[in-house]
Structure 1
Amino acid sequence: MSLSRAKRLQPVVEMAEKAEREAARQLGHCQGLVGQAEAKLGELERFRGDYQQQWISEGSKGVSGQWLMNYQRFLSQLETAVGQQQQSLEWHRANLEKVRAVWQQRYARLEGLRKLVQRYIDEARLAEDKREQKLLDELAQRLMDRGEP
């Protein structure tokens, strides 16, 4: 009886496995996007640092007003790009957490279904063992009733 219940659940388990695999794939993809966003932010911050270092070396030599205006304009654009990339990274991290929550939910559901199926299998084995033991006991009783050793 319980074994047939386990077999009937098999399509549900397979669907849950497929959903969990898809969620895991999405999670991996989002982790990759976070990594890319972090790398891009790191590059922008290094570039900004290098550019600011250029100000220190060029500024000590004396610069023209035009050079200073261009420097400030570009640094402002660079700061904007860094800020936008930080926002992008925050968005990707938040999205990653949402996708991780979906995966965790699907994984937990799959594990719950697997445990239920295993319980049904265990119940079926136990019932079969009891049935066999009952048959053996009846057979032993019949042999004893006949007087056979």
Structure 2
Amino acid sequence: MPASRAARLTPVIEMAERAERDAARLLGQGQQQLDQAELKLGELQQYFSDYQQQWLTQGSQGVSGQWLMNYQRFLSQLESAIGQQQRSVDWHRNNLHKLRQQWQQRRARLEGLSKLVERYLQEARVAADKREQKLLDEFSQRLAGRPKPD
């Protein structure tokens, strides 16, 4: 009886495994997207730093008003791009947190179902052992009750 209960859970287990695998795949994709966003942010920040260094070098040699206006405009655009990229990193980080929670929930459900199936299988083994022991006991009682052949 318990073995059939375990067998009936097979489709449920398969669905839970599929859901857990899908969640793990999405978690991996989310991590890759976060890594890419952080890499791009780092590149923008490095570019900003390099550009500031260029200002120090160029500024010490004297610059025109036009160059200074272009520099400030570009620096402003770069700061804006860094801000946008930081928001993108924050969004990807929050998304990754949600994806991790979903994966953990699906993993916990799968583990719970697996434990239930294992319990059902263990109950089936115990029941089968009891039936076997009962049959052996009955058989040995019958043998004990028979007259001994001479």
User: Which of the five TM-score ranges fits, normalised by the shorter chain?
Assistant: over 0.9
C-alpha separation in 1, matches of 2:56 and 2:147: 110
What pairs up with 1:124-135 in 2 under 5 angstroms?
Answer: 124-135=124-135
Give ranges in structure 1 of 5+ residues lacking alignment.
none
What pairs up with 1:1-149 in 2 under 5 angstroms?
Answer: 1-147=1-147
C-alpha separation in 1, matches of 2:54 and 2:136: 92
* Aligned partner letter, 1:3: A
- Per-residue CA deviations over 1:68-118 (Å, capped at 9, x if unaligned) read 111111001000000100000000000111111111111110110011001
Equivalent residue pairs, number: 149
Identity of aligned residues (%): 68
Specify the SS of the correspondent of 1:63: coil
Shift of 1:142: 1.4
C-alpha separation in 2, matches of 1:53 and 1:142: 100
C-alpha separation in 1, matches of 2:147 and 2:13: 52
C-alpha separation in 2, matches of 1:77 and 1:147: 106
C-alpha separation in 1, matches of 2:136 and 2:24: 50
Specify the SS of the correspondent of 2:63: coil
* Aligned partner letter, 1:82: I
- Per-residue CA deviations over 1:22-57 (Å, capped at 9, x if unaligned) read 111111111110000000001000100100000011
C-alpha separation in 1, matches of 2:146 and 2:40: 88
* Aligned partner letter, 2:56: I
TM value normalised by structure 2:
0.96
* Aligned partner letter, 2:110: L
* Aligned partner letter, 1:4: S
C-alpha separation in 2, matches of 1:34 and 1:134: 62
* Aligned partner letter, 1:110: L
Give ranges in structure 2 of 5+ residues lacking alignment.
none
Shift of 1:147: 4.9
Runs of 4+ in 1 over 6 A off after TM superposition: none
